């Protein structure tokens, strides 16, 4: 059908009208959000817990997974966490200590630049020495500062020999007992 | 049409207040006036509007928006400015072409501070072509912006430059015709004539005086958005569509200069729309006349400017909220809209308002 000038003008004006109606419609949808009455208005934004947002670290959920902390006094150096870590961010080195029943955890490093905070290590920790702290401010100036060390440190050869002697002593004591 | 007595001019007011001798050159006052307007009106407006814009769009999208710097984030614009000012240059070689065209772009914009009408005594230039000066400035601005884009020597810069020039040409025609409509209503193109043709009551504003003037008002505002690439007509300079277009390589101080200029364009256009179509600075309840007879000229000027700025900010907020709920137009949609919708409607409004005013004169 050949369109006449009138139908062309009419279609043009109808197009302009549709555009204005569309703008008006989107305004009607959006404006109620200004006073919190929009259809989908839900408080979904969690404010960062710090003094500016007047929230504190205590507002964190009970099971929130903060930076990891290892209580080295309870740690047995079993390396379960090192084995289960999906990103290999835990590095544990142990050696025999003075007590024959316990290992000396010389090195217990957690690289937070790799850690994904999955919590598998905490679940697998039998002596429950490894846990999530409520610390979440992890920003540092140097990448190497992101490695947290909980180990007791490597010992000297002299110390090692002394401990070996102590262990021998303990074993012989055990025999006599 | 109202003409104010010479002793009530801003120059006399300024010289008597600052204690200048009567023989001081006018350009000294003009320079002081420009710096004053820039620092006291334009910069704070830019900060306020950018904050409101961000809070408004945050509300529309059920977000929180700026909330770190100061109470409810009110100092965020200041923080942004400080951050931009202290940024280091990415490369050591100085792009003099970029600096040159950014300079042209900025000068073209701020040359209009001289004609910006802010009150009956703050009319720095009030000739019968004052209202057209921003248009010429916008055309120089288009040249500066286009060559600023070319100086980036990158694809977004080239395309952004060409597109922004196309956009300015598309937007200038309908908004120029819309100004002609208002001129038919007021009878002259002086700012004071536009003010004199209106009164404080909204139905006596040019925009609502007859239906054709209302169309002219809408066309003027929309044409200005196209011309100055203000959202939602900012496809040519937007980050999402064109990596920032002509500003794709600007950063730090240059970016802050550029962004302030963009805001100033929007602000200027809203002030013009308010003065030409929305009743300008005429105070309600005959307050202006009372203050004038009592010779309270500073108070009068202050109230007039605040009243004008209040209306301007409302208009800007309306445009901004519209931009935030409406998807940004593609560049071809923007130019199409300007040539195929705004232009015919502006011509229609021109003919209509001519007939309307002619009929009124004959009657």
Q: Which two tokens stand for residue A26?
A: 């989107």
The answer, for B239 touching chain A at a CB cutoff of 8 Å, is no
Task: For residue range B327-359, list pLDDT tens digits in order.
Answer: 888 889 999 999 999 999 999 999 999 999 888
Q: Which two tokens stand for residue A167?
A: 């262990």
Task: For residue range B51-85, list pLDDT tens digits in order.
Answer: 999 998 888 888 888 888 888 889 999 999 999 88
CA distance readout (Å), B335 to A77, A91, B273, B330: 71, 62, 21, 9
> What does the pLDDT read at residue B76?
92
> What does the pLDDT read at residue B213?
92
| Total number of residues shown for chain A | 177
pLDDT for residue B114 is more than 70: yes
**What proportion of chain B, given as a percentage, has pLDDT over 70?**
93
Mean of per-residue pLDDT scores for chain B: 85
Residues in contact with A42: Cβ distance below 8 Å, sequence separation at least 6, in sequence order:
B62
> What does the pLDDT read at residue B1?
35
pLDDT for residue A1 is more than 80: no
Task: For residue range A57-81, list pLDDT tens digits in order.
Answer: 777 888 889 999 999 999 999 999 9
Residues B144/B105, Cβ–Cβ less than 8 Å: yes
Mean of pLDDT values over B6-24: 62
Least confident of B62-71, B167-176, B211-220, B267-276: B62-71
From the candidates B59, B66, B318, B333, which should be mutated to test the interface with A, based on the most A CB atoms within 10 A? B59
> Which residues, listed in sequence order, are joined to residue A104 by a DSSP beta bridge?
A95
**What proportion of chain A, given as a percentage, has pLDDT over 70?**
93
The answer, for B60 touching chain A at a CB cutoff of 8 Å, is yes
Q: Which of A23, A41, A52 sits opposite B326 (nearest CB)?
A: A23
**What proportion of chain B, given as a percentage, has pLDDT over 90?**
28
Going by pLDDT thresholds of 50, 70 and 90, the confidence category of residue B6 is very low
> What does the pLDDT read at residue B299?
86
In terms of CA atoms, which chain B residue is nearest residue A29? B325
CA angle B49, B53, B59 (to 5 degrees): 145
Task: For residue range B261-285, list pLDDT tens digits in order.
Answer: 889 989 999 999 999 999 888 888 8
pLDDT for residue A146 is more than 70: yes
What is d(CA A45, CA A40) in angstroms, rounded to the nearest whole number? 13
From the candidates B62, B72, B222, B348, which should be mutated to test the interface with A, based on the most A CB atoms within 10 A? B62
Residues B136/B111, Cβ–Cβ less than 8 Å: no
Q: Which two tokens stand for residue B81?
A: 């400015």
Mean of pLDDT values over B3-17: 57
State the nearest Cα–Cα gap between A138 and chain B, in angstroms. Answer: 19
> What does the pLDDT read at residue B179?
94
> What does the pLDDT read at residue B15?
65
Tell me if B64 and A40 make a contact (CB, 8 A cut-off): no
Going by pLDDT thresholds of 50, 70 and 90, the confidence category of residue B5 is very low
pLDDT for residue A177 is more than 60: no
How far is CA B46 from its chain centroid? 11
Q: Which of B59, B68, B325 sits opposite A27 (nearest CB)?
A: B325
Mean of per-residue pLDDT scores for chain A: 87
> Which residues, listed in sequence order, are joined to residue A68 by a DSSP beta bridge?
A132
Tell me if A29 and B67 make a contact (CB, 8 A cut-off): no
> What does the pLDDT read at residue B171?
93
Give the start-to-end residue ranges of the domains of chain B: 95-362
The answer, for B294 touching chain A at a CB cutoff of 8 Å, is no
Task: For residue range A16-60, list pLDDT tens digits in order.
Answer: 999 889 989 988 888 888 887 766 666 577 778 877 777 777 778
Pairs of CB atoms within 8 A across A/B: 36
């Amino acid at each position: 059908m050949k369109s006449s000038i009138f139908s062309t003008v009419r279609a043009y004006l109808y197009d302009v009208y549709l555009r204005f109606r569309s703008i008006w419609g989107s305004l009607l949808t959006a404006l109620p959000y200004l006073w919190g009455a929009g259809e989908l208005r839900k408080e979904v934004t969690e404010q960062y817990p710090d003094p500016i947002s007047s929230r504190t670290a205590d507002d964190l959920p009970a099971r929130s997974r903060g930076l990891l902390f290892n209580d080295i006094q309870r740690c047995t150096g079993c390396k379960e966490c090192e084995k289960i870590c999906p990103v290999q961010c835990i590095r544990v080195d142990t050696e025999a200590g003075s007590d024959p029943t316990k290992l000396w955890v010389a090195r217990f490093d957690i690289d937070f630049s790799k850690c994904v905070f999955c919590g598998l290590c905490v679940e697998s920790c039998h002596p429950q020495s490894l846990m999530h702290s409520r610390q979440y401010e992890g920003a540092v100036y140097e990448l190497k500062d992101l490695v947290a060390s909980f180990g007791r440190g490597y010992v000297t050869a002299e110390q090692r020999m002394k401990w070996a002697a102590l262990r021998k002593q303990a074993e012989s004591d055990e025999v006599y007992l | 049409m109202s003409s104010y007595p010479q002793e009530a001019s801003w120059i006399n007011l300024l010289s008597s207040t600052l204690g200048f001798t009567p023989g001081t050159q006018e350009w000294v006052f003009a320079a002081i006036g420009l710096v004053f307007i820039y620092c006291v009106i334009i910069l704070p407006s830019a900060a306020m509007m950018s904050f409101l814009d961000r809070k408004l769009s945050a509300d529309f999208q059920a977000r929180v928006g700026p909330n770190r710097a100061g109470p409810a984030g009110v100092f965020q614009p200041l923080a942004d400015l400080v951050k931009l000012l202290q940024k280091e240059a990415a490369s050591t070689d100085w792009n003099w072409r970029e600096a040159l065209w950014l300079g042209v772009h900025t000068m073209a914009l701020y040359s209009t501070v001289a004609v910006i009408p802010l009150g009956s005594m703050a009319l720095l230039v009030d000739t019968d072509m004052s209202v057209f000066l921003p248009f010429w400035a916008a055309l120089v601005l288009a040249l500066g912006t286009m060559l600023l884009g070319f100086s980036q020597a990158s694809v977004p810069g080239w395309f952004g430059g060409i597109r922004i020039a196309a956009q300015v040409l598309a937007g200038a025609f309908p908004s120029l015709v819309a100004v002609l409509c208002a001129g038919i209503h007021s009878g002259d193109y002086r700012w004071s004539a536009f003010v004199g043709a209106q009164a404080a009551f909204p139905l006596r504003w040019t925009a609502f005086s007859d239906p054709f003037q209302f169309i002219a008002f809408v066309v003027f505002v929309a044409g200005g958005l196209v011309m100055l690439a203000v959202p939602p007509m900012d496809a040519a300079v937007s980050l999402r569509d064109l990596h920032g277009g002509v500003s794709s390589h600007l950063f730090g101080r240059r970016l802050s200069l550029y962004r302030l200029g963009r805001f100033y364009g929007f602000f200027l256009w809203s002030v013009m729309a308010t003065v030409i179509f929305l009743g300008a600075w005429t105070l309600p309840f005959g307050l202006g006349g009372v203050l004038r007879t009592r010779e309270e000229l500073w108070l009068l000027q202050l109230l007039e400017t605040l009243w004008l700025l209040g209306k301007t900010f409302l208009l800007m907020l309306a445009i901004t909220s519209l931009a935030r709920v409406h998807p940004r137009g593609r560049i071809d949609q923007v130019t199409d809209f300007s040539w195929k919708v705004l232009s015919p409607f502006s011509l229609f409004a021109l003919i209509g308002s001519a007939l309307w005013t002619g009929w009124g004169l004959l009657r």
